[in-house]
Amino acid sequence: MLEQFGIDGDAQPFVHAKPFRLSPLWDLYVPLVIAAIPAGLFALLGLATKGLDRPGAEPSVGVIIVMVVLQTLGIIAMAVVILARYEFGFRELSMRTNGRPPIWRRLILFCSIAFVLLFDALTNVAAAFDGAGPLLFLAVPAFIAYVLSVRVAFARL
Residue 18 CB: number of other CB atoms within 10 A? 7
**What is the number of residues in the chain?**
157
**Stretch among 8-12, 45-49, 87-91, 148-152 having the lowest mean pLDDT:** 8-12
Residue 149 in this model has a pLDDT that exceeds 70: yes
DSSP secondary structure string for all residues of 103-133: HHHHHHHHHHHHHHHHHHHHHHHHHHSTT-T
Give yes or no for residue 2 having a pLDDT over 50. no
> Structure pTM?
0.69
The reported pLDDT for the residue numbered 51 is 67
Average confidence score pLDDT of the chain = 78
Structure-derived torsion over alpha carbons of residues 131, 147, 86, 22, reported in degrees to the nearest 10:
140
Give start and end residues of each alpha helix (H) in the chain: 30-48, 61-96, 103-128, 135-153
DSSP state of 18: P
Contact 119, 143 (CB under 8 A): yes
pLDDT of residue 3: 45
- In this prediction, residue 15 carries a pLDDT of 47
Per residue in 92-121, pLDDT (tens digit) is 888 888 888 899 999 999 999 899 888 888
User: How much is the pLDDT for 17?
Assistant: 57
